[in-house]
Amino acid sequence: MGQNKSILGEFVDFIKIRKAWWLAPIIIVLLIVGVFIIFGQSSALSAFVYALF
């Protein structure tokens, strides 16, 4: 069959082929904000996360 790639692998190939390196920082920042939101909902770090925003 074909070569199975993960979503991350597909994204990296897309950036390489399309030369869209400007997308990488946007995705990284979105992932970091998502992690902050997840940790801020149910941990002791919520006071730190709320202080950032």
Q: Provide the residue ranges of all domains of the chain, joining segments of one domain with +.
A: 7-52
Rounded CA Rg of the chain:
16
- The token pair at 22 is 């400007």
Read off the pTM: 0.57
Give, in order, the Cα–Cα distances in Å from 12 to each of 8, 16, 18, 31, 35. 6, 6, 10, 15, 21
- pLDDT digits 0-9 by tens, 18-49: 988 888 889 899 999 888 777 767 666 666 76
